[in-house]
Amino acid sequence: MSTGLKTINVTGSGVMRFVFVLATLCISAFAVPQTVNLSKSKNSVEFLAVGKPAAIQIAGKLKEGSSLSGTLTIDGAAVKGEASLPLAGLDTGIELRNAHMKEKYLEVQKFPKAVITLTQLTLPGVVTAPSFSADKIPFQGTLLLHGVTQPIAGTVKAKKQEKELELLFDFKVSLGEFGIEIPSYLGIQVTQAVLTTVKVSTLLQ
């Protein structure tokens, strides 16, 4: 006589997979969100503008003594937050070119900082995992620059080893979208898109 109950046979490997998935879900569900203070982390900003002719390249970075500020919140595998960049700290290696960039084009007296707001990024593993790494992870956000806010998107290279988490953001900034005049210097004009890289490295709790 049938009782209406079905017997499910689970192999040893099936049990192990089930336990692993359950443990991962539990860790993710009960992990406490972590907040990263960017001003206390290792961070850097670099940019590259390609000129016309294309053989000309203008590279710059956030000089020593300047740093991002703001916070990132990591909840499980999701990352959100806001980073403020002091534009007066950008350096192209030539003082006269720096002055043109900051005074004429970025107008740092009126708009002293750029603000990146990260709205969507999912890491390849939960922050409590002992390690993970991945490249070309998509992210979305917004950028406030020159008094204008525009959406941005790019990719992230993420790496976690023990307590250290490293995030490398790559994205393009189209100057015209922010009302910035296309820079020219000594007869050389740069293209619209400026390649931007932001690196954050921090120790997690």
Hey, where are the domains in the chain? 33-203
Which structure tokens are listed for 187?
């007869």
Rounded Cα distance, 139 and 81, in Å: 12
> Given a cut of 70, is residue 107 above it in pLDDT?
yes
Find out whether 101 and 93 touch, Cβ atoms under 8 Å.
no
Contacts of 65 (CB under 8 A, 6+ apart): 89
Report pLDDT for 5.
Answer: 47
- Binned at pLDDT 50, 70 and 90, residue 8 comes out as very low
- What's the CA angle centered on 99, arms 93 and 105, to 5 degrees? 110
Is the predicted pLDDT of residue 22 greater than 80, yes or no? no
- Between 205 and 71, the more confident residue is 71
Q: Per-residue pLDDT for 21 more than 90?
A: no
Distances (CA, A) of 155 to 18, 66, 130, 151: 32, 24, 23, 14
Assess contact for 90 and 98: CB atoms under 8 A.
yes
Q: How far is CA 131 from CA 33, 45, 127, 159, 202, in A?
A: 17, 25, 9, 7, 14
- The CA dihedral of 12, 17, 21, 23, to the nearest 10 degrees, is 50
pTM listed for this prediction: 0.82
Average pLDDT rounded to a whole number, residues 25-53: 81
Q: Cβ distance 76 to 129 under 8 Å?
A: no
Q: Give the pLDDT confidence score for residue 95 in this predicted structure.
A: 94
Percent of the chain with pLDDT over 90: 68
Would you state the structure tokens that stand for residue 58, as one six-digit string? 């203008």
Over residues 9-21, the mean pLDDT reads: 52
**CATH number of the 33-203 domain:** 2.40.128.110
Give dist(CA 87, CA 62) in Å, integer. Answer: 8
pLDDT of residue 192: 87
Place of tokens 């990146």: 116
